[in-house]
Amino acid sequence: MKNGQTRNLTEPMYYILLILTNPHHGYGIMQKVHTFTEGRVEIGAGTLYSLLSKFTAEKLIRIDSVGERKKTYVITEKGRDVLEKEYQRLQRLVRDGDRILTRERQS
């Protein structure tokens, strides 16, 4: 998110930020996303750690703690703002779809 630009989040990005509203370590994030989405969204280790690195650099998340073999991450205020904006955008998409699809069903 350079220079205040916003962008749409991919599903993995969205779910990582959503899960990090509570602190989790990398493998825990993958498990939580899998469970939360009932297996619909799978995040591989390469994708996860690439996004964690990117999110950390963009200050959307921060390292909460460092253990012997794992780091725990948590969302920042900036990350929460990005997540909230994406949530609102997705709600608008659903409302727009409902308006059109409901109208079609009534015709």
Residue-wise pLDDT tens digits, 38-83: 999 999 999 999 999 999 999 999 999 998 889 999 999 999 999 9
Distance in angstroms (rounded) separating the CA atoms of residues 67 and 13: 24
In order of their start, the domains of the chain are 10-106 (1.10.10.10)
pLDDT of 6 above 60: no
Q: Are 16 and 43 in contact (CB under 8 A)?
A: yes
Specify the pTM: 0.87
Helix, strand, or coil (residue 43) = coil
pLDDT of residue 1: 45
